[in-house]
Amino acid sequence: MTTSSAPGKVYLFGEHAVVYGEPAVPCAVGRRASVTVEERDDDRLRVEAEDLSLDGFAITYGDDLEEADVNVPADLVEAATGYVDGAVAQARDAADAPDAGFNVSIESAIPLGAGLGSSAAVAVAGIDAATRELGVELDREELADRAYQVEYEVQEGQASRADTFCSTMGGAVRVEGDDCRRIDDAPELPFVVGYDGGAGNTGELVATVRDLRETYGFAADTVEAIGDVVRTGEHALREGDVEEVGRLMNFNHGLLSALGVSSRSLDTMVWAARDAGADGAKLTGAGGGGCIVALDETEGVETALNYTPGCEETFRAELDTEGVRVE
């Protein structure tokens, strides 16, 4: 039996634009998904995901998921198991063990679909645990690439390398197309996360941006402008200028709002954080609902968000420099 965990992430800058080759800077945060894997005597999978959805479920299946008998909506099962299936397929390939079966248990402190990289963390931790269970240890570059392949397939070609690379490596990272690297001189950042209890549909939101970009030249310019914000923000981050990073986060949120991926709840939380003195605040992830991230060293933002209508949960998060690890 092998357990690996991987962190979630917040975006300082660059979500959505990274899909079109612009740079992005996500940061790993100290909320993790843990995946425990035990090899079976047959080629079937049993997945227990008590914390991955509101209801939780346990399911055993072979090649055909429709054979499974579980009292959970089919779309939720497919979403939750898609990343597990992909992780298992990558582990089987890496270990040259095409018929390996597993019992898989997932525990996650990362809200599903909230923009904090839950799927990437599950894919990274799942591949790492399953390959180790089969006696193979992947280097981090290969692990990150295999986890990206999982997200790319599940998200029908709309994924970037940002989430999976960040979850694998930890810390602050810069991703531009296939060029992925850690920002080793990033300062400590006082993250405060607000969560509205919901989740946006990543596929629909990515499609919304794609349609706008293809229809309007100024929307394509907006995507490029996000890339310019990222480049400026990366410089400020390397210089340790947290106030400038915050100002650029505010700018980034405005551009994302213009592309139609924010929401009333996210905007309300962003403005509550700014009014409480945050250096900067923006949505993180696909948008449409989920989480915002703010920078604030005081207790002001956390207190303000606790009293903001529509904010269901608030927590502080430290930069997680470790990335994936064996538990």
* pLDDT(15) > 80: yes
Asked if residue 324 belongs to a domain, the reply is no
* pLDDT(208) > 80: yes
Asked if residue 284 belongs to a domain, the reply is yes
pLDDT at 34: 93
Asked if residue 327 belongs to a domain, the reply is no
User: What is the total count of domains within the chain?
Assistant: 2
Asked if residue 12 belongs to a domain, the reply is yes
**In the predicted model, what is the mean pLDDT of the chain?**
88
Query: Is 163 known to be catalytic?
Result: yes
pLDDT at 194: 95
Domain boundary among 134, 152, 184: 184
Span of 77-91, 141-155, 235-249 with lowest mean pLDDT: 77-91
Print the domain residue range for 160.
2-184
Span of 91-105, 137-151, 197-211 with lowest mean pLDDT: 197-211
* pLDDT(53) > 50: no
pTM, rounded to two decimals = 0.86
* pLDDT(74) > 60: no
Q: Which of 128, 163, 196, 296 is catalytic?
A: 163
pLDDT at 320: 92
Strands (E), the chain: 2-13, 25-39, 45-49, 58-61, 102-108, 173-176, 179-182, 191-195, 280-283, 291-295, 313-317, 325-326
Domain match, 88 and 179 both? yes
